[in-house]
């Protein structure tokens, strides 16, 4: 990557077309106009018979040069097919795979590098090939151009460049005379890097993957190493600790033992009820009541989790209020202001009120939900398994809230909470949450 060079005989990348791969570069503000300097310089010198004849003649080698996802911004010579003082280019027809490159020249007054009065690229052709063609040289017929966007005062100095015979407007290629300032670019960042936007989005290099290198970092005796983007280590989400996840009939902080022990928040729901099924204790969401279960637990920030629920519905009553089971994972950031969760290990110690969520409006706020799923009656009375996944983002504490819904908002058999289960009872045998 070369940016804002503006030095005598400056240039970008020079190569002999012998099977190289040149991708994801940003080259801007180069001003050299010699036969062997350019933002991208295709060099014929190494093709002379004495040094390269055996290689070129070996047809078993794939000598395709890939030039892809590069951005050439404001260069006096963006792409140059070098010819020099010899005919070496005639020894080998260049085989190029030229894809998704952006060439954008701007008029002097609009140059993003701020060099008005002596700008690179203004009034210049994008492709310099007249000397190359004048030596009888040509690209191989298999050379391919796809999705290249070229904006400049003129497309080429030969006035014959046509994307190797297919012409502009084919295979996503854009290029015509009089298109200087025609590229749609993002605003320059602190290093004067830009990328395609709007109709030019995705063409050229993604500047987020680039390493910006200062002059002091290159040349003899420098030690800078780049080109590797380290990915953040994968988050290992530890399995959370749920209390009474199998809904055994255990002691509560007050009242008789219940399968709902450890799962009570009377600020937002009535207690689930004790029942049996699937050869074990289960928690029941009674019909036409606002029964709910709720528990807070610690999680690993940015962790991926899986929740598995084993639940059964009674046969449909065929009435106006079919029951559904709603499952929500609520954010810790949505807890009441000033609230700090406490994680208990015994159900008898767990409070029934004054927990992190104290209102249904708070529960239903979209920004407080990491997962919201509604389970409808499956049409059988078996215990069916339901599995969902969620990411906790930057939360280190979350709450699981499950309730019966589908009934009338008011007039149920329990407390008035703005919701009720429908006509059928629902039972949950177990809940498991595991980290991925």
Please tell me the least confidently modeled range out of 209-223, 319-333, 389-403: 209-223
Query: What are 322-344's pLDDT values in tens digits?
Result: 999 999 999 999 999 999 999 99
Mean pLDDT on 303-312 = 97
Q: Determine the pLDDT at residue 181.
A: 96
Per-position DSSP letters for 368-387, written without gaps between them: GEEEEEEEEP-SS-S-EEEE
Please tell me the least confidently modeled range out of 9-18, 21-30, 261-270: 9-18
Per-position DSSP letters for 89-142, written without gaps between them: GGGS-B-EEEES-EEE---GGG-TT--TTS-SSTT-EEEE-HHHHHTT--B-TT
**Comparison of pLDDT for 364 and 221, the residue scoring more:** 364
Q: How far is the C-alpha of 49 from the C-alpha of 88, rounded, in Å?
A: 8
Please tell me the least confidently modeled range out of 83-87, 355-359, 365-369: 83-87
pLDDT at 355 over 90: yes
Please tell me the least confidently modeled range out of 56-65, 66-75, 195-204, 382-391: 56-65
Which residues face 94 on adjacent strands?
A: 139
Query: What are 144-200's pLDDT values in tens digits?
Result: 999 999 999 999 999 999 999 998 889 999 999 999 999 999 999 988 999 999 999
Q: Could you give the percent of the chain with pLDDT greater than 70?
A: 89
pLDDT at 134 over 60: yes
pLDDT at 50 over 60: no
SS3 426: strand
pLDDT at 48 over 60: no
For residue 229, what pLDDT band results from cuts at 50, 70 and 90?
Answer: very low
> Average per-residue pLDDT in the chain?
89
pLDDT at 228 over 70: no
Q: What structural domains does the chain harbor?
A: 13-217 (no CATH), 270-435 (2.60.120.260)
Please tell me the least confidently modeled range out of 56-70, 159-173, 298-312, 394-408: 56-70
CB-based contacts of 425, cutoff 8 Å, min separation 6: 284, 285, 286, 287, 313, 314, 323
CB-based contacts of 172, cutoff 8 Å, min separation 6: 146, 147, 148
pLDDT at 71 over 90: yes
């Amino acid at each position: 990557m070369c940016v804002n060079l503006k030095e005598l005989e400056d240039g970008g990348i020079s190569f002999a077309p012998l099977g190289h791969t040149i991708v994801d570069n940003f080259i801007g503000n180069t001003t050299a106009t010699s036969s062997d300097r350019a933002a991208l310089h295709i060099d014929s010198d190494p093709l002379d018979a004495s040094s390269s004849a055996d290689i070129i003649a070996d047809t078993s080698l794939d000598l395709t040069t890939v030039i892809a996802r590069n951005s050439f911004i404001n260069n006096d010579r963006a792409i140059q097919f070098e010819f020099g003082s010899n005919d070496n280019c005639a020894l080998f027809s260049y085989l190029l795979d030229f894809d998704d490159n952006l060439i954008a020249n701007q008029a002097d007054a609009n140059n993003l590098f701020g060099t008005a009065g002596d700008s690179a690229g203004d009034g210049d052709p994008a492709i310099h090939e007249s000397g190359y063609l004048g030596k009888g040289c040509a690209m191989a017929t298999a050379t391919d151009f796809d999705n290249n966007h070229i904006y400049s005062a003129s497309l080429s100095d030969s006035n014959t460049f046509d994307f190797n015979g297919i012409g502009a407007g084919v295979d996503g290629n854009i290029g015509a005379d009089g298109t200087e300032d025609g590229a749609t670019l993002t605003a320059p960042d602190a290093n004067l890097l830009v990328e395609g936007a709007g109709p030019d989005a995705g063409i050229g290099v993604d500047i987020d993957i680039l390493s910006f290198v200062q002059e002091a970092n290159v040349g003899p005796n420098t030690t800078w190493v780049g080109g590797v983007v380290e990915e953040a280590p994968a988050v290992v989400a530890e399995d959370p600790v749920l209390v009474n996840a199998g809904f055994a009939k255990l002691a509560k902080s007050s009242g008789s033992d219940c399968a709902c022990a450890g799962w009570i928040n009377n600020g937002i729901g009535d207690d689930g009820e004790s029942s049996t099924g699937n050869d074990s204790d289960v928690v029941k969401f009674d019909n036409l009541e606002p029964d709910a279960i709720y528990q807070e637990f610690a999680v690993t920030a940015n962790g991926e989790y899986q929740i598995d629920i084993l639940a059964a519905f009674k046969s449909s009553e065929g009435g106006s209020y079919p029951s559904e089971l709603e499952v929500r994972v609520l954010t810790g950031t949505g807890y009441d202001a000033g609230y700090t969760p406490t994680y208990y290990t015994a159900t008898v110690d767990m409070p029934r009120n004054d927990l992190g969520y104290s209102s249904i409006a708070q529960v239903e706020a979209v920004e407080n939900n990491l997962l919201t799923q509604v389970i409808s009656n499956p049409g059988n009375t078996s215990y069916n398994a339901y599995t969902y996944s969620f990411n906790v983002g930057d939360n280190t504490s979350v709450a699981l809230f499950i309730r019966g819904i589908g009934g009338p908002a008011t007039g149920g058999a329990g407390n008035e909470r703005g919701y009720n289960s429908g006509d059928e009872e629902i039972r949950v045998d177990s809940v498991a949450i595991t980290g991925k």
